Amino acid sequence: MFVLVELFGIPRQRAGQAVVKLEVCEESTCLGNIVLQLTKLFPDLAEECFEGRRLQTGYIASIGGKTFVRSPDTKIRAGESLLVMSADSGG
Amino acid sequence: MSHFGYHGHYLRIDLETEQVTRVPLGTEVLRRYVGGSGLGTHLLLRENAATHEPLARESALVFAFSPLVGSPLTTSAKFAVVSKSPLTDRINDSLASSGFAMAGKQSGCDALVLVGRARQNSVLLLNDGRFELLPVRGLAGQGTNQTERMLREQLGDDWQIASIGPAGENLVRYATISHAGRHAGRGGSGAVMGAKNLKAIAVRGSQMTTWADADRLNAYAKDLARRSLGPETVKYRELGTTSNMLVFNRLHALPTRNFQQGSFAAADQLAPETLAVKRVTDRAYCSACTIGCEHRYSLEEDPATDSESVRLEYENVFALGPLCGIEDGHAVLKASRMCDQYGLDTVSTGGTIAFAMECVQRGLLDVPWLRFGDSEALWRAIDWIANRREIGDQLAEGSRRMAAWVGQDSLVFAPQVKGLEIPGYEPRALQTMALGFAVGTRGADHNRSSAYEVDFSERVDRRNLQEGSAALAIETEDKAALMDSLILCKFLRGVFQDFYQEAAHMLQLITGWDVTASELKSCASHMVSAKKLFNIRAGWHPCEDTLPARFFQEALDDDRQTKISQSRLGELIESYNQLRGWTREGYLSPQQEQEMGYDESGHCPGD
């Protein structure tokens, strides 16, 4: 079972790729666990965007592009997409 | 009277009689309106400018500085240009940055109020408070950068210059006032300046204001500068605002082909991640800024061969790219450079052209060459707008007036609110922003509302208007009103733990006032009401607070769930009005109007 993580902007720059397919052991996981998995894979991304299991204040995640989430305990179901991006959308 | 942070007066210049009046600004007014956009609104009300035609000789054009200008606070070198908009016939305040703000304030005033019309096309010089009008020689028809260059050569490098391009001279209703490659862009202040026969304003001076507590201000400024380099701003520093492109595209929030879709197949080609590979040349900073959000791109494949790079922002790229169906990065860069040189607001330019392209697509307009996705058509349309040539003369009027000319119900899909073209935030996908657009005093505007901040958070379901959206829209609008009056760059907003608390602290250190966060909250709300009062006096009607019918009638092609409920929006507009203490319809109560203090002649207590 997988969660597809889509990275945008600075998170994409730091990870060096746009999409990451993460394996999850159960039907669902949580945002905090995904952040920890990404930290192992992409130390530069973690340094810029994460703080332990949390997103740094300048960043936010979205489930499937519909709901924005920040809490590390937010449930993410296998098969869902998780978008990670800058929290500020000023243009 | 001596003030810290202020000169304590503004200069009222009658361009016709060449008479200059130094008008005192009392502490009560300064404390209530702070500077920038707030102070400019006050001065317009004082001039009774709401009742004048924006391009008439008696209209007023205000350049307002702020107490923070010249201080060591990062991003504070900004000025506001405030007038009645020739595009919307409502209030318009647009901001720009850099050396003009500092030199303008050092010329010895807190604001310039320009009335009347110069007898011939002129350049206004303000040299340490001394005013002079010079006839324009060789500048007529020149682009904005070239005008600055030529004037500098003539006057010297220590002058700072704000100018208009051919679009302003030709009274295009969305012409800009430009300074150092930055633009007071929205709402057509460049046409107001053109109507006053002013090609440029050149300022210099040596009159510095002092700070109430300079040592603590310096220490605070250092701390703020350090924080400004944190994770909240890294996006702006490394990629710039164009990094919105791929996110908005993924969320179906990227207005495409005149708001017919919310995503664009070629978005990848216009994103900085792609453009930067070959075309990025450098990064620039406004004066007194630590962030440096300005990313410049080359028009040439080999940047070394390009004499003049282009500053690219999300709004330029969205409006001249996806909105017009343009896929090619080079075409968008060239269109953007043309707008900068002609002195055209890119959002209104792209919005009006995209509207016309849809009219052609629907067979409502017989201009066969004006097709979505055609770069040559985009460039030609921009050139014709700036020069008011053929169909360009209609396009120069903006999408609302053009819809009235085209007829056939085209107003339904004219992408505007109160006449101001909608920026790059698809209202159906970002519905708190949609509410902010509808109620905005200057029309559809993301900078004065900032409600998209709420949509990009866990606080709302962005695709549905909900209870609480009105309060959230007010919260972001008030915060923006204060930021635009202090003036500070909005890219700093994520840096503040408690914005009002820190704003009060800054003002205490600068002015010595015992100002509090709660006083500033009430000032911010008051500023929004003052803008509303201006609009009411200019003839505002509640039916203006809405969106184009398209957003109620059509879902996005690529996200069928997104449509705005017109009745829900209406309920939330009523909630918004009531939370502001206005009547349900949106008028100020007689008591509020009286408390505001402007009589019909513009006199205000505390002056």
Which among B84, B15, B88, B8 is positioned nearest to B52, based on CA atoms? Answer: B84
Cα–Cα distance measured from residue B56 to residue B41, given in angstroms and rounded to the nearest whole number: 19
Which tokens is B520 given?
Answer: 């500033």
Position B247, amino acid = V
The residue in chain B having the minimum alpha-carbon distance to the alpha carbon of residue A56 is B231
Q: Does A21 touch chain B (CB under 8 A)?
A: no
Q: What is the predicted pLDDT for the residue at B293?
A: 92
The average confidence (pLDDT) of chain B is 95
**Within 10 A of B477 (CB to CB), how many other CB atoms are there?**
24
For the residues B326-333, what does the mean pLDDT come to? 94
The closest CB to that of B231, out of A6, A59, A90, belongs to A59
Domain segments of chain B: what residues? 9-204, 240-421, 431-596
At residue B20, the pLDDT reads 97
B457 touches chain A (CB under 8 A): yes
**Minimum-distance CB partner of B446 among A48, A49, A91:** A91
Contacts of A90 in chain B (CB under 8 A): 236, 241, 450, 490-491, 493
Residue B235: closest CA among chain A residues belongs to which residue? A10
Residues B47-54, mean pLDDT to the nearest whole number: 97
Q: Which domains does chain A have, with CATH numbers?
A: 2-86 (3.10.20.30)
**Cα A60 to Cα B207: distance, rounded to the nearest angstrom:** 45
For chain B, say whether A84 makes contact (Cβ under 8 Å).
Answer: no
Whether B235 has its CB under 8 Å from any CB of chain A: the answer is: yes
Q: Which residues of B touch A12 (CB under 8 A)?
A: 273
ipTM metric: 0.97
Q: Residue B606: what pLDDT?
A: 58
Spatial separation of the C-alpha atoms in residues B379 and B335, rounded to whole Å:
6
Q: Which residue is listed with tokens 């028009």?
A: B299
Residue of B nearest to A11 (CA): B235
Residue A17: Cβ within 10 Å count: 12
| pLDDT tens track for B419-444 | 999 999 999 999 999 999 999 999 99
Report chain A residues whose CB lies below 8 A from the CB of B463.
Answer: 66
pLDDT reading at B605 higher than 70: no
pLDDT at A1: 87
How many residues appear in chain B? 607
CA distances from B160 to A5, B18, B209, B484, B556 (A): 48, 21, 18, 21, 46
B196-243 per-position pLDDT tens digit: 999 999 999 999 999 999 999 999 999 999 999 999 999 999 999 999
Nearest to B9 by CA among B112, B94, B133: B112
Q: Position of tokens 């300005």?
A: B294
Give the model's confidence band at B303: pLDDT under 50 very low, under 70 low, under 90 confident, else very high.
Answer: low
Q: How confident is the model at residue A8 (pLDDT cuts 50, 70, 90)?
A: very high
Q: For B506-516, b where at least 16 C-beta lie within 10 A, e where not — what string?
A: bbbbbbebebe
Q: How far apart are CA A19 and CA A12, in angstroms?
A: 8
pLDDT for the residue numbered B551: 97
Lowest-confidence range among B10-24, B250-264, B293-307?
B293-307
Contacts of B462 in chain A (CB under 8 A): 66, 68
B134-149: b (≥16 Cβ within 10 Å) or e: bebeebeebbbbebbe
- The dihedral of CA B437, B443, B446, B451: what is its sign? negative
pLDDT category at B520 given cuts 50, 70, 90 is very high
Rounded CA separation B28/B24 (Å): 12
Cβ of A80 under 8 Å from any chain B Cβ? Answer: no
Mean pLDDT of B58-69: 98
Pick from B250, B424, B457: CB nearest A65 = B250
Report CB contact under 8 Å: A49, B231.
yes
Burial of B584: CB neighbours in 10 Å, binned 0-12, 13-18, 19+: exposed
- 3-state SS, residue B70: coil
Fold of B240-421: 1.10.569
Per CB-CB distance under 8 Å, the chain A contacts of B313 are 91
Decide if A6 touches B, using CB distance below 8 A.
Answer: yes
Residue to test with chain A: of B456, B483, B559, most A Cβ within 10 A: B456
Q: φ, ψ for residue B594 (rounded to 5)?
A: -70, -40
* Cα distance from N-terminal residue to C-terminal residue, chain B: 13
The answer to whether B490 contacts A66, with C-beta atoms less than 8 Å apart, is: no
pLDDT higher than threshold 60 for residue B1: no
CB contact under 8 Å between B243 and A65, yes or no, is: no
Q: Is A70 on the interface with B (CB under 8 A)?
A: yes
pLDDT for position B297: 87
Q: In chain B, positions 361-380, which contact chain A (CB-CB < 8 Å)?
A: none
B9-204 maps to CATH 3.60.9.10: yes
Range of lowest pLDDT (B127-136, B503-512, B557-566, B584-593) = B557-566
B380 closest CA partner among B412, B334, B443? B334
Closest Cα of chain B to A53: distance in Å?
16
Residue with tokens 């500068």: B225
Yes or no, beta carbons of B491 and A65 under 8 Å apart: no
Separation CA B369–CA B11 (nearest Å): 49
Contact A10 B234 (CB under 8 A): yes
Nearest Cα neighbor of B259 from B383, B119, B425 is: B425
Percentage of chain B exceeding pLDDT 90: 90
Please give the average per-residue pLDDT across B558-570, as a whole number: 91
Q: Say if B251 is an interface residue toward chain A (CB within 8 Å).
A: yes
In this complex, how many residue pairs, one in chain A and one in chain B, have their CB atoms less than 8 Å apart? 95
Q: Which residues in chain B are closer than 8 Å to A68, comparing Cβ atoms? A: 456-458, 462
* pLDDT tens by residue, B371-381: 999 999 999 99
Lowest mean pLDDT among B72-76, B165-169, B303-307: B303-307
- DSSP for B357-425 reads HHHHHTTSS--TT--TT-HHHHHHHHHHHHHT-THHHHHTT-HHHHHHHH-TTGGGG--EETTEEP-SS
The contacts of residue B277 (CB under 8 Å, 6+ apart) are: none
Q: What is the mean pLDDT of residues B510-530?
A: 98
Does A51 reach chain B within 8 Å, measured CB to CB? no
Contacts of B150 (CB under 8 A, 6+ apart): B138, B139, B142
Of residues B392, B473, B394, B468, the one with CA closest to residue B433: B473
- Chain-centre distance of CA B461, in angstroms? 28
Fold of B431-596: 1.10.599
Q: Give CA–CA dist B115/B23, Å, rounded.
A: 14
Query: A90: distance to nearest CA of chain B, Å?
Result: 7
Q: Do A90 and B250 touch (CB under 8 A)?
A: no
pLDDT at B604 over 80: no
Instruction: Please count the other Cβ atoms lying within 10 Å of the Cβ belonging to residue B401.
Output: 18
B301: exposed, middle or buried (Cβ count in 10 Å: 0-12, 13-18, 19+) = exposed
Rounded to 5°, angle at Cα A45 from A78 and B75: 120
pLDDT score of B188: 98
Query: Using the beta-carbon criterion (under 8 Å), do A89 and B453 form an inter-chain contact?
Result: yes
Q: What is the spatial distance between Cα B154 and Cα B137, in angstroms, rounded to a whole number?
A: 10
**Chain A residues lying within 8 Å of B425, measured CB to CB:** 91
Decide the pairing of beta strands B310-311 and B294-297.
Answer: antiparallel
| CA pair distance B421, B414, nearest whole angstrom | 8
Interface residue A45 vs chain B (CB under 8 A): no
B197 in Cβ contact with B220 (< 8 Å): no
In this structure, which long-range contacts are made by residues B210-217, counting pairs with CB atoms below 8 Å and at least 24 apart in sequence?
B210/B4, B210/B5, B211/B4, B211/B5, B211/B71, B211/B509, B211/B510, B212/B4, B212/B5, B212/B508, B212/B509, B212/B510, B212/B511, B212/B512, B213/B508, B213/B509, B213/B512, B216/B509, B217/B71, B217/B72, B217/B73, B217/B506, B217/B509, B217/B510
CB contact under 8 A, B456 and A57: no
Residue A43 to chain B, least CA–CA distance (Å): 16
By CA distance, what is A8's nearest residue in B?
A: B247
Give contacts of A88 with chain B, Cβ < 8 Å: 232-233, 235-236, 453, 456, 491, 493-494
Cβ neighbourhood burial of B369 (10 Å; 0-12, 13-18, 19+): exposed
The radius of gyration of chain A's CA atoms, rounded to the nearest angstrom, is 12
Residue B602 confidence (pLDDT): 63
Cβ <8 Å between B273 and A12: yes
- CA distance to partner chain B, nearest, from residue A7 (Å): 9
Three-class SS state of B310 = strand
Reduced to 3 states, what is the DSSP secondary structure of residue B55? coil
Q: Tell me how far apart the alpha carbons of residues B479 and B454 are, in angstroms, rounded to a whole number.
A: 13
